[in-house]
Amino acid sequence: MAKTLYEKVWDSHVVVANEGEAPLIYVDRHLVHEVTSPQAFSGLKVAGRKLRAPEKTFATMDHNTSTKSASLDALSPMARIQVETLQDNCKEFGVRLYDIHHKNQGIVHVMGPELGITLPGTVIVCGDSHTATHGAFGALAFGIGTSEVEHVMATQTLRQNKAKTMKIEVRGHVAAGITAKDIVLAIIGKIGMDGGTGYVVEFCGEAIEALSMEGRMTVCNMAIEMGAKAGMVAPDGITAEYLKGREFAPKGDSWEQAIAAWAELKTDADAVFDASVVLEASDIAPQLTWGTNPGQVVAIDGLVPNPEDEPNATVKASIEKALEYVALSAGTCMTDVSINKVFIGSCTNSRIEDLRDAAIHAKGRKVAAGVTAIVVPGSGLVKEQAEAEGLDQIFLEAGFEWRLPGCSMCLAMNDDRLEAGDRCASTSNRNFEGRQGRGSRTHLVSPAMAAAAAVAGHFVDIRKAY
Amino acid sequence: MNPFTSHTGLSVMIDSANVDTDQIIPKQFLSKVTRDGFGIHLFHDWRYLDEAGDEPNPDFSLNQPRYQGASILISKENFGCGSSREHAPWALADFGLRAIIAPSFADIFYGNSINNGLLPVRLSDAEVQQLMDEVEASEGAEITVDLEALTVTSPSGAVFNFEIAGSARHNLLNGLDAIGLSLACTDKIARYEAQLPSWKA
């Protein structure tokens, strides 16, 4: 029977499938960070349980860490306890940990792929919704809660019901200056923030195939922002090329076997999806959000929407509530919207290509008066690479701050936080009320759009720079 | 996990779609290393006018006198979207809620709730609206959520059916330890591991 990519990966991971109960599926790799793991480790201790496969478990610290100092003294007392708890737990349970002093430390979804932990055809979970990122490699990767983290630790499996399948095809080629972030924001704008609920989405089409692995990660990262269980892209030569030689990628004969197995990881020609969506790449302009969820998105040459144009009462109420929160009026041109903060970073957009994209717009220019802009590389390795290329100097000379790796202002758990009334051009993934600080307003954009906004002090159509 | 069979109680409404987990429990409260004590921070930014949480927002439903003691929350579509933080159901349950009724839920939140004995109930848009209207109209009216019968009974006595996966229902009704159940499959897990190719092992 013809199968989709998701169905192939799913079928190869079913350990137990009894009538009337959710199947038990195997987890190949488990990523762990400091915020959603302490209660899971505590649960194991209370029950006297061990980790079934500590060698398949990889931990780092990212959510709570300081981007200003690699010292525990820079953390709030509670954050410090959480970070130290992870250190203690990893030691006790034999889990590999990249702590704040290790060169591999970074945002968990940047770290996994760049170390070759993320592989096609595997099941990868983490107590973080942006685990969807790893689907860029043709892995089935999704976020789980802490009870499930504990379940995976104890059993290396999860109880899961099979999701429905959705194909999202982006046909043709994007125009110059249009990035993976614009593609995924356009998709979310089209299907809505819950358009993918209950589905695993496969992204395909020429525009997706043309993306680098980093671009594919940006797209899959935001699958959760359309409500999808996971996003996936079929592995190809670009995937293999990216992985070859990475620290935890297979070597020698194992590599050859892996390459052969990965060649099968594509949706069969006559496989049927439960739903299909098509976008034309050439229609996609630089995108940015105007409201308080990732589906409230508009093209840079567009206007803030008018709730009176919305027929559905619930949606209309959401638009009105969002407009009030973000303090924008219907009909405003997005290029007239001024910002005073810029954040370049997060598991969506903090990899080397993102920083290169941003640096193009920063080079030889200055951050506008009254604007504070920070650049937070996704990991120690990204930071090292960027510095080797001189990107840090480009940012610093332009007046951006160059920080240490971490989740930072994406969720603002550490001290990188917006103030009430701040308006931020952010390369992160969520623009919920208060996400980056109570009373603050977030506009999601690509790294190029964020850097250009930092220089101009307002949003600009970066296509005019090409 | 506490078993859930049937529950009758006061309900409170949040009449908004897309109530996200950043609202349910904002990030500044995620640094704890235990599962308890999140209830006082539930909906912090909506519930309190100040950062410290000393000044309740009188306009927010959970603060209104008529809804004190509520144990069932009714809201609109896509409840619990966003982050995978299980702190969200921990906060809802710690506040005293036993069930959430909405037209739809985000996937991760839905599973996290079940794993904590907090019952997510999907009803149609019209049924949710009717419940909201009835609760609004009659102070002190109670709703019954019956997991054995798979029904919700409105204050006026209207009965709505809902669905939930059979295994989730079974575990909730019996308060079963999911990890213990899966550990009973250890032999099968070991057999699965034994056949893994070297590149995946």
- At B115-125, the pLDDT tens digits run 999 999 999 99
Q: Which residues of B touch A154 (CB under 8 A)?
A: 179, 182-183
How far, in Å, CA of A123 to CA of A163, rounded? 14
Token pair listed for A269: 């020609």
What does each C-alpha distance from A21 to A144, A440, A466, B165 come to in angstroms?
19, 44, 55, 8
Q: For strands B6-14 and B72-75, give the pairing.
A: parallel
Give chain A's count of helices (H) and strands (E). 15, 19
Q: Which residues of B touch A255 (CB under 8 A)?
A: 199
Neighbour-count burial of A439, counting CB atoms closer than 10 A to its CB (0-12 exposed, 13-18 middle, 19+ buried): middle
pLDDT at position A91, please? 98
Evaluate whether A285 touches A334 at the Cβ level (below 8 Å): no
Selection from A207, A219, A202 nearest residue A168 by Cα = A202
Test mutation, B15, B21, B22, B27, chain A, max A CBs within 10 A: B27
CB contact under 8 A, A151 and B51: no
pLDDT at position A379, please? 98
pLDDT at position A20, please? 86
CB nearest to B22's CB, from A131, A146, A435: A435
How far, in Å, CA of A302 to CA of A310, rounded? 16
pLDDT at position A466, please? 54
Q: For strands B159-161 and B151-153, give the pairing.
A: antiparallel
Selection from B126, B20, B23 nearest residue A313 by Cα = B126
Give one DSSP letter per residue of A326-382, joined into a string. Answer: HT--TT-BGGG-B-SEEEE-TTTS-SHHHHHHHHHHHTT--PPTT-EEEE--SBHHH
CB contact under 8 A, A413 and B28: yes
Q: Which residues of A touch B199 (CB under 8 A)?
A: 119, 250, 254-255, 257-258, 261
A102-141: pLDDT as tens digits:
999 999 999 999 999 999 999 999 999 999 999 999 999 9
Residue A369 dihedral angles phi and psi, to the nearest 5°: -60, 135
How far, in Å, CA of B53 to CA of B37, rounded? 14
Instruction: Extract the runs of DSSP E, i.e. beta strands, from A17-87.
Output: 24-26, 29-32, 57-60
CB contact under 8 A, B185 and A253: no
CB contact under 8 A, A257 and B168: no
List all residues of chain B from 12 to 31 with a beta carbon under 8 Å from chain A: 16-18, 20, 22-23, 26-28, 30-31
Give the other-Cβ count within 10 Å of B183's Cβ. Answer: 17
Q: At what angle do helices B107-114 and B166-174 cross, to 10 degrees?
A: 30
- Band the pLDDT of A341: cuts 50, 70, 90: very high
Q: Which residues of B touch A227 (CB under 8 A)?
A: 78, 81, 106-107
Q: Which residues of B touch A155 (CB under 8 A)?
A: 179, 182-183, 185-186, 189
CB contact under 8 A, A20 and B35: no
B62-82: pLDDT as tens digits:
999 999 999 999 999 999 999
Give the other-Cβ count within 10 Å of B138's Cβ. Answer: 11
CB nearest to A197's CB, from B16, B106, B116: B106
Which residue of chain B is at minimal alpha-carbon distance from A417?
A: B28
How far, in Å, CA of B197 to CA of A120, rounded? 13
CB contact under 8 A, B18 and A39: no
Q: How far is B63 from chain A (nearest CA, A)?
A: 20
pLDDT at position A165, please? 98
Test mutation, A92, A129, A431, chain B, max B CBs within 10 A: A129
Selection from A423, A132, A148 nearest residue A289 by Cα = A423
Test mutation, B83, B113, B174, B177, chain A, max A CBs within 10 A: B83
pLDDT at position A387, please? 98
B9-29: pLDDT as tens digits:
999 999 999 999 999 999 999
pLDDT at position A338, please? 98
Give the other-Cβ count within 10 Å of A292's Cβ. Answer: 27
pLDDT above 70 (res A85): yes
Q: Which residues of A touch B23 (CB under 8 A)?
A: 432-434
pLDDT at position A392, please? 98
Mean pLDDT of chain A: 97
pLDDT at position A464, please? 86
pLDDT at position B1, please? 77
- Band the pLDDT of B2: cuts 50, 70, 90: confident
Which residue of chain A is at minimal alpha-carbon distance from B81?
A: A227
Percent of chain A with pLDDT over 90: 98
Give chain B's count of helices (H) and strands (E). 8, 7
Percent of chain B with pLDDT over 70: 100
CB contact under 8 A, B200 and A119: yes
List all residues of chain B from 22 to 81 with a beta carbon under 8 Å from chain A: 22-23, 26-28, 30-35, 45, 51, 76-78, 81
Give one DSSP letter per residue of A93-150, joined into a string. Answer: HT-EEE-TTSTT-B-HHHHHHHTT---TT-EEEESSGGGGGGGGGT-EEEE--HHHHH
Evaluate whether B102 touches B127 at the Cβ level (below 8 Å): no
List all residues of chain B from 105 to 144 with a beta carbon under 8 Å from chain A: 106-108, 111-112, 115-116, 125
CB contact under 8 A, B106 and A127: no
Beta bridge partners of A276: A167
Evaluate whether A227 touches A194 at the Cβ level (below 8 Å): yes
Token pair listed for A74: 């820079």
CB nearest to A39's CB, from B18, B34, B76: B34
User: Which positions ≥6 away from B157 have C-beta within 8 Å?
Assistant: none
How far, in Å, CA of A402 to CA of A198, rounded? 39
How far, in Å, CA of A378 to CA of B176, rounded? 40
User: Which positions ≥6 away from A373 have C-beta within 8 Å?
Assistant: A341, A342, A343, A344, A367, A399, A400, A401, A451, A454
A348-357: pLDDT as tens digits:
999 999 999 9
Q: Which DSSP helix (H) or strand (E) runs through A43?
A: helix A38-47
How far, in Å, CA of A333 to CA of A300, rounded? 8
How far, in Å, CA of B5 to CA of A177, rounded? 56
CB contact under 8 A, B107 and A198: yes
Is the CB of residue B193 less than 8 Å away from at least one CB of chain A? yes
Q: How far is B47 from chain A (nearest CA, A)?
A: 13
CB contact under 8 A, A257 and B199: yes
pLDDT at position B195, please? 97
Q: How far is A160 from chain B (nearest CA, A)?
A: 9
Average pLDDT over residues A79-104: 97
Evaluate whether A258 touches A150 at the Cβ level (below 8 Å): no
